[in-house]
Structure 1
Amino acid sequence: MDHTRSIATMLRHWAHTHPDSPGVSVDGVADHTFASWLEASSRLAAGLRGVGVGPGDRIGFIGKSAVVWAEAFAAASLLRAAAAPLNWRLSPAETAEILADADVAALITEAEFLPLTGRPASDDGRVRLILPDGSEHDYAQFVSSHEAGDDWPEPEPEPEPEDIALLLYTSGTSGTPKGVELPNRAIEANITSPFPVDLTVGDVVMVPAPTFHLSGTGWLYSALSRGAASLFVFDIRPEAVLDVLADGRVTYAITVPAIVQALVQHPTARSRTYPSLRTLIYGGSPMSPSLADAAHEVFDCDLVQGYGLTETCGPITCLSDEDHRRGGARLASAGRAIAGVELGVFDPATGERCATGEVGEVWARTPTIMAGYRNRPQEVRAVLHEDGWFRTGDAGCLDEDGYLFLRDRVKDMIVSGGENVYPVEVENVLTAHPAVRDAAVIGVPDERWGETVKALVVTGERTPDAHELIEFCRERLAHFKCPTSVDVVDSLPRNPTGKLMKRELRAPYWAGRARGIA
């Protein structure tokens, strides 16, 4: 599939062969066919090229509209620039840190998120484009005022495999954001690798994830590569999701087990039919046998689980529908390595391969691995070996048939509702409170979010209540990073070197569960 070498070549291919097929939409808000998507992206790219944006630059986006993001993503590819979607849930200080690291040449932002960029708030609903000279423009007017020209939308020169196409920010080992650089060759390897989801022209993938997550943008380019449409849905109330699944548009749906549980328990779920739905694709945690049975019964479709990381540009393991229907202990696994992925479990200290069933750090070797972390060569060397092995930071084991069972996080990262939270960042804020002497942050089970943030604190002469400490965090961090509960304790367990013993703190909350992380 030669058209898969970049986002621009994919979009150009489908705009020429299936111009009127649906390409991307936000449910009930905006949409593009492949042809209209290409036209908008080409106009945007032409305008940006006219002000000096070109190969190697970065184009930022802060917003909820996947349609505007799709225009920016393809325009960046036409320019051989990288597209960088930013998390609109962050604080202004966190956003400023990322913008400084990304050094964007142009920034597209929705009106409500202007304060994140240090600009005055606006309630006019208009998307803004901030150009390299700092000038602010109405995005829609900028796009419509430029013509693509006769030589567009051909990228000049042609995209190269190592061009960075996508820059996604995720938490680092220090708790500060780090930019994962995904090149064209990684995206192409991802979309051309076999995966038990046979997307084709006319299919519609329901995507409930925001674009600043790989689970959102990854499915956008996966669908695009095969001529399928991406339908972004942000109202994830069970009745709203069931309405979308029942109306006959959706053939594949991306979800998490907590959402599936809410769907099958909804009083109208079993009285409806879902005429086009073929597969529910989920991740984040395993699905219980009873839930898998209920999902098969209610939706009459296949179930597929995927496990991957931003750094791997998508899934590296898969639990197939056949595995789900077979049931048994392997439903607690993340499945087996997909074709093209070499998976291993190694002792994180010695680098020696672990025996079957022995827990160690999960490593992967695959052509989908990132190019690196932007401006962080030391962190790249810590996780990416010269021989191609990538250290995931997750702990697990492989059984005799190659099924991967995840047990813990080597890096202690918490994943709450699909958002990554690194405890040290929250701990640093808590210990800045004048009444807190020591703090530990862990992830504990949560029925809705998979896991949620819990803080354990040692206080001084005054003991603040939980509400005060949570509000203190919320003034300084994105809300999804903040504790939802706080316990005051006399002391925190530390080893002789002073390191917090997080496993000991988590153990009571995860006792009796098949997987020690969500």
Structure 2
Amino acid sequence: MDAYHRRSLGAMLRHWADVAAERPAIGVVDGRSHTFGSWFRRSSRIACGLDDLGIGAGDTVGFIGKDAVVWGEVLVAASYVRAAGVPFNWRLSRREMSETVADAAPSVTVVESAFLPLVGHDDPGDGVTRVLVGDAAPIAYDVWVEGLRGFELEVTSEPGDVAMIVYTSGTSGQAKGVELPNRAIAANIGSSAPWDIKPGDTVMIPAPLFHVSGTGWLFYCLGIGAEALYTTDIKPSAVLDVLAGGAVDHALTVPAVVHMLVSHPDARGREYPNLRTLIYGGSPMAPTTARDAMTIFGCDLVQSYGMTETCGPITFLTPNDHRAGGARLAAAGRAVPGVELVIADPVDGAVCPPGVTGEVRTRSALIMSGYRNQPDELAEVLTPDGWFRTGDAGYVDDDGYLYLCDRIKDMIVSGGENIYPVEVENVLLEHPQVLEAAVIGVPDEKWGETVKAVVVVRGSLDPGELTAFCRERLAHYKCPTSIDLRDELPRNPSGKILKRELRKVYWSQHPRSIA
């Protein structure tokens, strides 16, 4: 596919509908599926409905759910009218969802039945996905689509149009809507990668759609002409069944899931005839897990490092790197061709020499266009000459391999989920007995890191009560799994809490203070 056909998601789907209409395009294991042709017809119809509602450039269309086929229909339909698709995180609490939806301000939102309470509607319990248009009562999604006129809209998207907005927790405690334009998506698809994904291949994607990895692989497969096959059940036995069935050529995952797969008693007694690549991210993989995965699955391993703001990977650890093993497995890899990456002094921006730790910065066409409604946040992370400040601390060796050491920002990564401590701290401080709170990430064998809160309270307080308090207000994966009560928190002379001191006791036996 040339650059012209990669100019928007709508243009990509139109291309494959023209050249490979009957080829499988997107599906959910044991659920819906589309060929490129049927996907194009469905998204075209929805696009007409959006157009009839006056939705266009600068508007947003939301989705709350797990069904990647429905999301694919909605996302591409939005592209046809130059609107941005927004996959909301269904794991949020109702309060968090309300704040995020208010920021995104979708003109239309498609919601799976189980998640209707998150937006103020009762769940009828019938499993029927609804569409919300303005203040009107929820309408059955399929009924709504079938009532729309069928017509092929002309694709007029521009490179700078925002195609998708992905919300990620903010260091200020407010969710940030990362705006990903068509040009960044096109750059992602057009970049060189250490795998051989071809038109007609099938890529299994167990990642949630509200992550850039989940929807990123949707648009990557669409650009390549491969089938995106989603699994909503991450049980090891179910994933192994799909891989052993022979329908999957490549699979996306995180190290925690790979560990569960290779540890499953049935993993070694099966064949995985067509699996060629296992692609993972979120953290390095333990050498024993990597060796077991290559032995059991007989496939290549690729690690990718990137973030929502970079619209995908900025470094790769290749199959050859994994086969070589050793200390290199602790690296995040080398920069993707076309992506600039430097280690900079976080204060003055001076480039650090190999082996010296500083802030990881990157510059390329992959970078987001901004944070929705938060221009000041963008100014903090993007330098005037276009370098994105990742907030990660690391160094590069003499061969250009990046090693991550810590986080300049205090973000916690637990099981592939990004958690910002200040968001949890703000909720803890809402409790009338909590005087001070500090949240840190501590080692966890299964998830890499888990959330710990260290708090100073007034009087006596059962930590379990505080955990329940958080669970009523936050997505459960953000809530502390342990809470320590202290008389005081360590601070520097200016009064700033010394989280490094809090973390030290838990990370002292680890080579780095990041999972």
**What CA distance in whole angstroms lies between the structure 1 residues aligned with 2:225 and 2:79?**
18
The question of 1:510 aligning with 2:507 is answered yes
Q: 2:472 aligns with which of 466, 471, 475?
A: 475
Letter in 1 for 2:18: H
| Structure 2 counterpart of 1:498 | 495
**What CA distance in whole angstroms lies between the structure 1 residues aligned with 2:82 and 2:509?**
50
Letter in 2 for 1:294: D
Q: Does the 8 Å contact 1:303/1:321 carry over to 2?
A: yes
Q: Does the 8 Å contact 2:21/2:35 carry over to 1?
A: yes
| Structure 2 counterpart of 1:256 | 254
Q: Does the 8 Å contact 1:44/1:143 carry over to 2?
A: yes
Deviation at 1:517, TM superposition (A): 1.5
Describe the SS at the equivalent of 1:467: helix
Deviation at 1:280, TM superposition (A): 0.4
Does 8-17 or 302-311 show the bigger shift?
A: 8-17
Describe the SS at the equivalent of 1:159: coil
Per-residue CA shift, 1:260-307, capped at 9, x if unaligned?
Answer: 112112112111110000000001111222222111111110000000
Letter in 2 for 1:31: S
Matches for 1:298-377 after TM superposition, within 5 Å = 298-377=296-375
Letter in 1 for 2:110: I
| Structure 2 counterpart of 1:75 | 77
Deviation at 1:177, TM superposition (A): 0.2
The question of 1:465 aligning with 2:473 is answered no
Per-residue CA shift, 1:196-219, capped at 9, x if unaligned?
Answer: 122112211111111100010000
- State, as a whole percentage, how many aligned pairs show the same letter: 58
The question of 1:104 aligning with 2:106 is answered yes
Deviation at 1:136, TM superposition (A): 2.8
Per-residue CA shift, 1:240-271, capped at 9, x if unaligned?
Answer: 11111000011111111121112112112111
Letter in 2 for 1:251: D
| Structure 2 counterpart of 1:198 | 196
Does 176-185 or 292-301 show the bigger shift?
A: 292-301
Q: 1:145 aligns with which of 129, 144, 147?
A: 147
**What CA distance in whole angstroms lies between the structure 2 residues aligned with 1:284 and 1:78?**
32
Check 1:458–1:492 CA distance in 2 against 1; reply closer, same or farther (3 A cut): same
The question of 1:129 aligning with 2:152 is answered no
Letter in 1 for 2:346: P
The question of 1:46 aligning with 2:48 is answered yes
Describe the SS at the equivalent of 2:71: helix
Q: Does the 8 Å contact 1:12/1:153 carry over to 2?
A: no
Q: 1:402 aligns with which of 370, 392, 400?
A: 400
Deviation at 1:153, TM superposition (A): 4.1
| Structure 2 counterpart of 1:292 | 290
Structure 1, unmatched stretches of 5+, are none
Letter in 2 for 1:203: D
Per-residue CA shift, 1:167-220, capped at 9, x if unaligned?
Answer: 010111201101000000000011101011221122111111111000100001
**What CA distance in whole angstroms lies between the structure 1 residues aligned with 2:287 and 2:119?**
46
Deviation at 1:128, TM superposition (A): 1.1
Letter in 2 for 1:78: Y
| Structure 1 counterpart of 2:7 | 5
Deviation at 1:134, TM superposition (A): 3.6
| Structure 2 counterpart of 1:208 | 206
The question of 1:489 aligning with 2:486 is answered yes
Per-residue CA shift, 1:462-498, capped at 9, x if unaligned?
Answer: 2x22211100111111111110111112221111111
Letter in 2 for 1:473: C
Per-residue CA shift, 1:287-337, capped at 9, x if unaligned?
Answer: 222222111111110000000010000000000010111112111010000
Q: Does the 8 Å contact 1:332/1:514 carry over to 2?
A: no
Describe the SS at the equivalent of 2:166: strand
**TM-score, structure 1 as length reference:** 0.97
Q: 1:424 aligns with which of 422, 425, 437?
A: 422
Structure 2, unmatched stretches of 5+, are none
**What CA distance in whole angstroms lies between the structure 2 residues aligned with 1:13 and 1:327?**
41
**What CA distance in whole angstroms lies between the structure 2 residues aligned with 1:297 and 1:120?**
49
CA RMSD across the alignment: 1.2
Check 1:478–1:46 CA distance in 2 against 1; reply closer, same or farther (3 A cut): same
**What CA distance in whole angstroms lies between the structure 2 residues aligned with 1:190 and 1:5?**
12
**TM-score, structure 2 as length reference:** 0.98
**What CA distance in whole angstroms lies between the structure 2 residues aligned with 1:21 and 1:379?**
42
**What CA distance in whole angstroms lies between the structure 1 residues aligned with 2:374 and 2:110?**
25
Deviation at 1:34, TM superposition (A): 0.8
**Alignment length (residue pairs):** 513
Q: Does the 8 Å contact 2:171/2:423 carry over to 1?
A: no
Does 23-32 or 441-450 show the bigger shift?
A: 441-450
| Structure 2 counterpart of 1:265 | 263
**What CA distance in whole angstroms lies between the structure 1 residues aligned with 2:321 and 2:126?**
50
Deviation at 1:148, TM superposition (A): 2.2
Q: Does the 8 Å contact 1:332/1:515 carry over to 2?
A: no
| Structure 2 counterpart of 1:154 | 154
Q: Does the 8 Å contact 2:50/2:78 carry over to 1?
A: no
**What CA distance in whole angstroms lies between the structure 1 residues aligned with 2:226 and 2:295?**
26
Deviation at 1:132, TM superposition (A): 3.3
Describe the SS at the equivalent of 1:206: strand
Letter in 2 for 1:468: E
| Structure 1 counterpart of 2:217 | 219
Deviation at 1:135, TM superposition (A): 4.5
| Structure 2 counterpart of 1:185 | 183
Q: Does the 8 Å contact 2:421/2:438 carry over to 1?
A: yes
